Copies of this chain bind each other. A is one copy, B any other.
Amino acid sequence: MSDLRTLRVALLGAGSVGSQVARILIEDRAELAARAGITLDLVGVAVRSLDSARDWDIPAELLTTDATALVQRADVVIELIGGIEPARTLILEAVAAGADVVTGNKALIAAHGPELFDAAARVGALISYEAAVAGAIPILRPLRESLAGDKINRILAIVNGSTNFILDRMDRFGDTMEQAQKTAFELGFLEADPTLDVDGYDAAQKAAILARLAFHADVPAEAVYREGIADITAEQIRDAAAAGATIKLLAIAERVTGEHGEGISTRVYPALIPKEHPLASVHGGNNAVFVEAAAAGPLMFYGAGAGGVQTASAVLGDLVSAARRHVAGGPGLTEGATAKLPLIPIGEVSARYQIALRVSDRPGVLAQIAGILAEAGVSVETVVQSAAEADEVSGEHAAMLVIGTHTSREDAVQNTVNALRSHEAVRAVISVLRFEGE
């Protein structure tokens, strides 16, 4: 451990976030020292290659390719490599050496959080990860500390800027999914491989982290029910608008009562949000976390969900907190006791649904479909029928049915949808979407 006037900071990774963290540590050194009560001394930056181009030119003498050695001479290690390995091993080595860790690695925290937190707790080290969820938005600390005396009932969160950008383009500019993805890619909102974002894996990792903090329970990312946005069409956006809603990819962590009592439901899917809900106004690549707590009522935290310099703000906030702890002593925040709330399967969760079908346009079809729904206990609230193009093969006339249900259980709706799929009058089940935030 260094003397009490300097904190040795090691930075692992110098991508878009890491290079901004290095810049601010160097350019704002005096101000950060005043804020932290101790000088934050950047002792090294571990990179894969010494001569890659970076968003900000890190002084060459700080660069090293030996992350393992760097970790050994730091009081705080900032891990911004991403992915599971070597990040996991390096963090475990840092903690074993008594260093605190700041990371923005959502995949690692979602997959190996308990292992890392246990290792840190054993030696009294601190792992903080505000940057892992919703970029610059302070959300983890408010959940963990400010709301520690309250009971969180539900979190509805827009935590993936790429998919929000795409859906917002479709909603506000009338883009098709293909056009919107192309624009998102060109503007840097979407990676070359968009799977992590578009299929909801990124949001599921964040849902798992949010659920852990909100409900003090371990939630593996694989346990999060997940649907992506790839199949969302301009038509669905229009159907949503007709129902007074807009489509957002939500990460949801909710306290629900399942068949065997209270538990946690975590799920990620494109949902219909009423236009007047605060989340409906979250445009472009922004993120927002809407929290419903028993005493506080509804709260919303809004801001940039990604971006190098924005995310650096969250990393540096964690770093200053860790530094203050070094000055003041004491163990700082721990992850807290883990509650034993069970995970409730998606089938036991209820919502209102919007079901869009293409059906044969002949007498009696609507009655037959209504009958199938009624049999499964799914009660119809609204029906909009419109003409569809004639079938290309048979030339038979078709109609579009957009059905809004009353609140129904997911398993009942899925059974109904399966029955509809095999019904001879149903040409296609176009979409099944849930309402949230009502």
Contact = CB atoms under 8 A, between A and B. Distances in A.
Interface string A28-64: 1001101111000000000000000000000000000
A20 B339 CA distance: 25
A192 interface: no
Interface stretch (A139-147, A250-258, A417-425): A139-147
A28 B330 contact: no
Given A296-B310, A339-B34, A317 B148 contact: yes
Contacts of A295: 20, 24, 136, 309-310, 312-313, 316
A136 to B, nearest CB: 4
A293 to B, nearest CB: 6
A136 B310 contact: no
A75 to B, nearest CB: 16
A314 B296 CA distance: 8
Q: Quick one: which of A295, A309, A329 has the most chain B CB within 10 A?
A: A295
Contacts of A188: none
Interface in A285-333: 293, 295-304, 307, 309-310, 312-321, 324-325, 328-333
Contacts of A151: 28, 31
B299 A300 contact: no
- State the oligomeric state as a number of copies: 2
A242 interface: no
A66 interface: no
A432 B65 CA distance: 61
A137 interface: yes
A405 to B, nearest CB: 29
Contacts of A35: 148-149, 216, 336
A281 interface: yes
A432 B216 CA distance: 52
A149 B315 contact: yes
A352 to B, nearest CB: 24
Given A146-B314, A295-B312, 5 more contacts: A136-B299, A148-B320, A149-B316, A150-B313, A295-B313
The 4 nearest A-B residue pairs measured at CB = A330-B330, A149-B316, A138-B146, A296-B313
